[in-house]
Chain A
Amino acid sequence: MTRAVAGAGIRRPPLRHPLRLAAALAVAALTLLPLGYVVAGVVAAGPEGVVALVWRPRVGELLRNTVTLVLLGTTACVVLGTGAAWLVERTSLPGRALWTGLMAAPLAVPAFVNSVGWYALFPGFDGLDAAVAVTTLSYFPLVYLPVAAVLRGIDPAFEELGRSLGLGPWRVVARVVLPQLRPALLGGALLVGLHLLAEFGALQSLRFDTFTTAIYDQFQSTFDGAGATMLAGVLVLLCLLLLAGEAGLAGRARISRVGSGVARRAAPHRLGAATLPAVIALSALAVAALGVPLVSLASWLVTSTSTAFPLAELAGTAATSLGLGALGALATCLLALPVAWLAVRCRGRLAILVERATYIGNSLPGIVVALALITVGIRVVPALYQSTAMLVAAYAVLFMPRAMVSLRAALAQIPPELDDVGRSLGVGPAGVLARVSVPLIARGIGAGGALVFLAVVTELTSTLLLAPIGTETLATRFWSESSELHYGAAAPSALLMIVLSAPAAWLLTRRAAR
């Protein structure tokens, strides 16, 4: 079935689309700036310097910690996200609409708020277990959402066909369902993995050090910028491993479907006596991911004497966050589009390299990305230095993968033949893109944009260093208030971040519910 048609899919050489190729290369160049900054630092340190700074016990410890966190955290997100998606989408579990909302909502809670919330209620909650638990609770929706979307959209005819050809129920899952889930699952897992590599906010109070936390530490050391850059170099290598791994596992199977008629809804599996345990499991997940941070915020509001709701200020700050989030989402999706198109439609070595290049910025700590853009920006485009445009470019470098994964998945589901049909009807290549591809992937663009928006609203370091002077966002406000220990004054900013993010999370569930 899916595989048989794959041969008919037409591989197009990228050089036949010079404009799109040029656009994709330009985007890749922008997102590679931080890598260039790291490489320049490594070269400047010289081979001896590199060995002295990298070959020491502390780096081994960080390597072990980082790899363990990425492996355990990603696995936990895959298991929880897929399990929850299956329960919600493919079983008789009552209250599907409610669960859909609750499983996406953790994306609206910034990871550092979640972390601080857990630590406040459970002091002593630290180390590897805590780091895995908190990051999983924050990021499992990145797997849940794409998997739920695919599970809901799968044509049950494929599974029935598998059964009729003699496969048992588990083999149907392994040979029919999983291959269809694979792009969504891997895309989600890749996003989680990249986030874990670059995570700082959620880990800073959990007594668990990774390369990223160590890089921040090195920047706190007066004369050790070189040490920080070296660690960032090792981090880039880990990121490349992750990217190669995902590309290797992704495969080339065609998953788009052409044909008359519409896929039926699959009949839900009857949970029967398992309904109660399933409801309890999902409720526990929701309480852990949403209840704990919200209760903590509420307790700050009650116990702190600095609690205040300066409405005008908060409204202005929220509007800035909203505006930057929307601009960041728009720009990132726009930049991701040519790269995603190239990666899906002209899949070859060059296309894969270009697409992978855009993921690296996301795995580096915000401070490294910001310093790279400062170093280049102030010299190359001084007029744009510390302008909104430059800040938005930083967001695009940092969060491109969130858009890329969504766009790529959406493009993969459109039969390439539709492009040909458009061309054969006399529409030019740009017209096909604008009138056929983009409308068909609108939901994908919406999903990618929503994911980028969620990330921009909580971004701190680049916003502090690159925003036009005087810009205050909810994240920078939360940072100042909480670092001055005014938790009551900080809580409204955190709550507003959650409120602003809720519509984006809701938009993501709309995609899942298609």
Chain B
Amino acid sequence: MRPARRHLLTAAVAAAVLSLAACGSGATPAAAPSSTPAGTRAADTTLVLYNAQHEEVGKAWADAFTAKTGVKVDIRKGSDFDLANQIIAEGAASPADVFITENSPAMSLVSSRGLFAPVDAATKAQVPAQYSSSKGDWVGVAARSTVFVYNSATLTEAQLPKSIMDLAKPEWKDRFGISPSGADFQAIVSAVYLTQGDAAGAAWLQGIKANAKIYRGNSTIMKAANAGEVPGGVIYHYYWYGDQADGGANSKATKLEFFGNQDPGAFLSVSGGGVLASSKHGAQAQQFLAFMTGAEGQKILSDGKALEYSVGAGVAPNKALKPLAELQAPTVDINALNGPKIVAEMQRVGLL
């Protein structure tokens, strides 16, 4: 090893250790001495939020909550099922106090293992019952609507499907995209089974398997429709609104069709929030959940750039969105979504 190389290596390792020490001291408040003056107990508490919602949504809520109460919030981000599986693997030792997701099935998974504490009654009262767990162990914090995104040069309004059920008909073969691996699409399948019955649901699923082009992820479908690779596809609304707000490079040639009419294709998916039963700061964690679903928290959501629907405390959603009441979403028990039966059905037809 030549001397120059040796110095280079030493310098690299030193830089590594220094930079980690620097970020470590900022990142692990438990180890750092508290800079807040000795005051209320709340100010000394640090909550851990496992955030599977959009980073900016979770962060906005956490920052506002800290500003209001002095309770600090550390955030771990990840996707719905990464974090849900992590919480289950951690079990009673989980460092998480609060968990929020993009869609409700990951909440159901954690709930099925009995890892959530009951939600405070006052918090439950802030959110309409259809957006919360019937077990009372988590509540809705936001929602997103299923839509049909289509390339407006390829499809005219008259040619659009009237119902998501139409997509199983032969004339739609290879003309739309879906992302069956996502919890989102599995929730839509659940909605079809719940609203149309098992026999009609199974026939529809077979047709979808025969007709659909398979993509991974909603944004991939939207890009493909935008590029004319496929005439249309089933996605959530906010991908389109978000891209439009970001210059529209991936959506400028597309429009959205809302199925409405209580169609299973107008399914509204709920983002959930819950407090872990293993939390050592249960009171503050419940306070945080109450804040997110309360007027202040919901206003932060609807004023923000996430373009998801606010669901609680009578706060109107973002004005850029089609109003919640006009969506005419079907009535679906969100506790029954994505059960073992739906997964088995999707495995049977070969979509999973």
Q: Which residues of A contact B (CB under 8 A)?
A: 56-58, 61, 119-120, 123-124, 204-205, 207, 213, 216-225, 227, 300, 303-306, 316, 319-320, 322-327, 330, 367, 370-371, 374-375, 378-379, 382, 385-386, 388, 439, 442, 446, 461, 464-465, 468-471, 476, 480, 483-488
Q: Do A470 and B75 have beta carbons less than 8 Å apart?
A: yes
Taken together as a complex, chains A and B put the C-alpha atoms of A56 and B19 apart, in Å, by 49
7 smallest beta-carbon distances between A and B, as pairs: A326-B16, A123-B227, A217-B181, A470-B27, A323-B19, A319-B19, A323-B20
Q: Do A323 and B15 have beta carbons less than 8 Å apart?
A: yes
Q: List 22 A-B contacts (CB under 8 A).
A: A205-B215, A218-B352, A220-B81, A221-B186, A222-B338, A223-B338, A223-B343, A316-B22, A319-B15, A320-B23, A323-B15, A367-B82, A375-B89, A378-B89, A385-B93, A442-B5, A446-B5, A465-B82, A469-B27, A469-B28, A469-B48, A469-B75
Shortest Cβ distance from A107 into chain B, in angstroms?
A: 18
The answer, among B26, B55, B89, B181, for a CB contact under 8 Å with A371, is B89
Q: Do B19 and A322 have beta carbons less than 8 Å apart?
A: yes
Q: Which of B15, B75, B109, B220 has most A Cβ within 10 Å?
A: B220
Contact residues in B for A56 (Cβ distance below 8 Å): 347
Contact residues in B for A484 (Cβ distance below 8 Å): 54-56, 242, 306
Contact residues in A for B228 (Cβ distance below 8 Å): 123
Taken together as a complex, chains A and B put the C-alpha atoms of A275 and B247 apart, in Å, by 45
Taken together as a complex, chains A and B put the C-alpha atoms of A442 and B1 apart, in Å, by 7
Q: Do B17 and A323 have beta carbons less than 8 Å apart?
A: yes
Q: Do B28 and A303 have beta carbons less than 8 Å apart?
A: no
The answer, among B16, B54, B95, B247, for a CB contact under 8 Å with A323, is B16
Q: Do B82 and A464 have beta carbons less than 8 Å apart?
A: yes
B314 at the interface (CB under 8 A from A): no
Q: Is the interface of B mostly helix, strand, loop or mixed?
A: helix
Q: Do B338 and A221 have beta carbons less than 8 Å apart?
A: yes
Contact residues in A for B186 (Cβ distance below 8 Å): 220-222
Known: A207-B216, A326-B15, A484-B54. A220 touches B23 (CB 8 A): no
Q: Do B109 and A223 have beta carbons less than 8 Å apart?
A: yes
B175 at the interface (CB under 8 A from A): no
Contact residues in A for B15 (Cβ distance below 8 Å): 319, 322-323, 326
Q: Do B338 and A304 have beta carbons less than 8 Å apart?
A: no
Q: Is the interface of A mostly helix, strand, loop or mixed?
A: helix
Contact residues in A for B215 (Cβ distance below 8 Å): 205, 207
Mask, B185-224, CB within 8 Å of A = 1, is: 0100000000000000000000000000111110110011
Interface residues of B in 73-95 (CB under 8 A from A): 74-78, 80-83, 85-86, 88-91, 93-95
Q: Which of B22, B75, B90, B243 has most A Cβ within 10 Å?
A: B90
Q: Do B217 and A57 have beta carbons less than 8 Å apart?
A: no
Q: Do B89 and A204 have beta carbons less than 8 Å apart?
A: no
Taken together as a complex, chains A and B put the C-alpha atoms of A57 and B224 apart, in Å, by 28
Known: A220-B81, A461-B82, A484-B55. A378 touches B90 (CB 8 A): yes
Shortest Cβ distance from B288 into chain A, in angstroms?
A: 16
Q: Do A480 and B247 have beta carbons less than 8 Å apart?
A: no
Contact residues in B for A480 (Cβ distance below 8 Å): 54-55, 77
Q: Do B23 and A471 have beta carbons less than 8 Å apart?
A: yes
Taken together as a complex, chains A and B put the C-alpha atoms of A120 and B83 apart, in Å, by 29
The answer, among A306, A316, A446, for a CB contact under 8 Å with B23, is A316
Shortest Cβ distance from A287 into chain B, in angstroms?
A: 22
The answer, among A371, A439, A464, for a CB contact under 8 Å with B85, is A371
B63 at the interface (CB under 8 A from A): no
Closest Cβ neighbor of A53 among chain B residues: B347
B128 at the interface (CB under 8 A from A): no
Taken together as a complex, chains A and B put the C-alpha atoms of A325 and B19 apart, in Å, by 11
B260 at the interface (CB under 8 A from A): no
Closest Cβ neighbor of B185 among chain A residues: A220
Q: Do A485 and B239 have beta carbons less than 8 Å apart?
A: yes
B256 at the interface (CB under 8 A from A): no
Contact residues in B for A326 (Cβ distance below 8 Å): 12-13, 15-16
The answer, among B13, B85, B91, for a CB contact under 8 Å with A219, is B85
The answer, among A227, A378, A488, for a CB contact under 8 Å with B246, is A488
Q: Do B223 and A123 have beta carbons less than 8 Å apart?
A: yes
B24 at the interface (CB under 8 A from A): yes
**Contacts A323-B17, A470-B26, A470-B75 given; 9 further ones with Cβ under 8 A?**
A123-B224, A123-B228, A213-B216, A218-B352, A222-B109, A323-B16, A324-B20, A375-B89, A485-B243
Taken together as a complex, chains A and B put the C-alpha atoms of A119 and B77 apart, in Å, by 27
Mask, B1-32, CB within 8 Å of A = 1, is: 10001000000110111111011101110000
Contact residues in B for A227 (Cβ distance below 8 Å): 343, 347
Q: Do B75 and A57 have beta carbons less than 8 Å apart?
A: no
Q: Do B108 and A222 have beta carbons less than 8 Å apart?
A: yes
Q: Do A485 and B219 have beta carbons less than 8 Å apart?
A: yes
The answer, among A123, A225, A320, A388, for a CB contact under 8 Å with B229, is A123
Q: Do A322 and B16 have beta carbons less than 8 Å apart?
A: yes
Q: Do A320 and B239 have beta carbons less than 8 Å apart?
A: no
Contact residues in B for A207 (Cβ distance below 8 Å): 213-216
Shortest Cβ distance from A251 into chain B, in angstroms?
A: 31
Q: Which of A316, A322, A485 has most B Cβ within 10 Å?
A: A485
Shortest Cβ distance from B287 into chain A, in angstroms?
A: 20
Q: Do A205 and B19 have beta carbons less than 8 Å apart?
A: no
Q: Do B20 and A327 have beta carbons less than 8 Å apart?
A: yes
Contact residues in B for A379 (Cβ distance below 8 Å): 93
Q: Do B181 and A216 have beta carbons less than 8 Å apart?
A: yes
Contact residues in B for A327 (Cβ distance below 8 Å): 16-17, 20
Taken together as a complex, chains A and B put the C-alpha atoms of A198 and B207 apart, in Å, by 32
Mask, B291-306, CB within 8 Å of A = 1, is: 0000000000000001
Taken together as a complex, chains A and B put the C-alpha atoms of A56 and B346 apart, in Å, by 12
The answer, among B27, B28, B229, B239, for a CB contact under 8 Å with A124, is B229
Contact residues in B for A371 (Cβ distance below 8 Å): 85-86, 89
Q: Do B20 and A220 have beta carbons less than 8 Å apart?
A: no
Q: Which of B56, B95, B112, B246 has most A Cβ within 10 Å?
A: B246
Contact residues in A for B78 (Cβ distance below 8 Å): 464-465
Contact residues in A for B270 (Cβ distance below 8 Å): none
B289 at the interface (CB under 8 A from A): no
Shortest Cβ distance from B274 into chain A, in angstroms?
A: 15
